[in-house]
């Protein structure tokens, strides 16, 4: 691959920077503290399957666009029904658990380090409101945070990645997309973005056929590799 010359770093958020399953597990346990671990995992899977299925329906044109807030509310209702909980307030609290997501141990310090040399952009399928709360809860700091809601679709639709291209005003090949989901990086590649895979326990690992520009164990490893790749752009504001 050609030399890596980057003007901005674009991050997936859910899974890559925050532990999404952990936050939802906590919400399920708060919904019904008597649930054993097996039941919690079963209900978590029910939530995840609903979100994935409905986002795919929207992408395929089988359902009009709705925000992630609406999908989380639907998933929470399904989980609460399966758990035998009918209290509307409890369902609403469970839906908000998708915004109370813990960061990975290296996330906050890693972003701070990367921000010293590169503009950082968050690019998430979360709604604008949800992204604001996720960022605040996890302590994520950005130069810019972009929601797929602005494209009225979901990743991996190219229109979502185009948001980052437009806001930077730079060619796609000068942007580095960072994610723990190989499908996310493949989609970014179709638009011409450079790509970096970061290992997380909840990610979608690359296959032997994938060819990403960088492979990192965590954000410190990513920062080390970018430091070696080339000089930083001067005069960047701190997030």
pLDDT tens, position by position, 214-237: 999 999 999 999 998 865 554 444
- 81-120: per-residue pLDDT in tens? 999 999 999 999 999 999 999 999 999 999 999 999 999 9
CA-nearest of 130, 132, 89, 118 to 178 is: 118
What residues form DSSP beta bridges with 204?
A: 181
3-state secondary structure at position 41: helix
3-state secondary structure at position 235: coil
C-alpha neighbours within 13 Å on the C-beta side of residue 209: 2
Give all strands of the β-sheet with 144-147 in edge-to-edge order. 144-147, 120-124, 8-11, 175-179, 194-198, 214-216
Pairing status of strand 144-147 against strand 175-179: unpaired
3-state secondary structure at position 18: strand
Report the pLDDT value the prediction gives residue 88, as an integer from 0 to 100.
Answer: 96
Task: For the chain, list the domains and their CATH numbers.
Answer: 8-18+102-229 (3.40.50.1000), 20-99 (1.10.150)
Task: Determine whether 200 is exposed, middle or buried from the number of CB atoms within 10 Å of its CB (0-12, 13-18, 19+).
Answer: buried
pTM of this structure: 0.94
CA–CA separation, 148 vs 166, rounded Å?
13
Q: For the chain, which residues score pLDDT lower than 70?
A: 1-2, 230-239
Report the pLDDT value the prediction gives residue 231, as an integer from 0 to 100.
Answer: 57
């Amino acid at each position: 691959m050609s030399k890596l010359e980057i003007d901005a770093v674009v991050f997936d958020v859910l899974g890559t920077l925050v532990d999404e399953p952990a936050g939802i597990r906590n919400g399920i346990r708060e919904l019904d503290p008597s649930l054993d671990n097996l039941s919690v995992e079963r209900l978590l899977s029910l939530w995840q399957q609903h979100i994935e299925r409905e986002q795919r329906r929207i992408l395929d044109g089988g359902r009009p666009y709705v925000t992630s807030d609406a999908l989380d509310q639907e998933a929470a209702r399904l989980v609460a029904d399966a758990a035998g909980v009918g209290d509307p307030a409890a369902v609403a609290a469970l839906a908000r658990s998708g915004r109370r997501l813990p960061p990975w141990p290296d996330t906050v310090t890693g972003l701070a380090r990367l921000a010293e040399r590169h503009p950082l952009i968050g690019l998430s399928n979360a709604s604008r409101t949800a992204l604001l709360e996720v960022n605040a809860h996890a302590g994520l700091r950005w130069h810019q945070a972009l929601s797929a809601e602005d494209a009225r679709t979901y990743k991996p639709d190219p229109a979502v990645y185009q948001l980052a291209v437009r806001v930077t005003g730079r060619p796609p090949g000068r942007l580095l997309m960072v994610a723990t989901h190989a499908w996310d990086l493949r989609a970014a590649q179709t638009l011409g973005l450079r790509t970096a895979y970061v290992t997380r326990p909840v990610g979608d690992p690359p296959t032997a056929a994938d060819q990403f520009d960088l492979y990192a164990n965590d954000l410190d490893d990513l920062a080390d590799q970018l430091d070696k790749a080339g000089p930083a752009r001067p005069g960047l504001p701190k997030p």
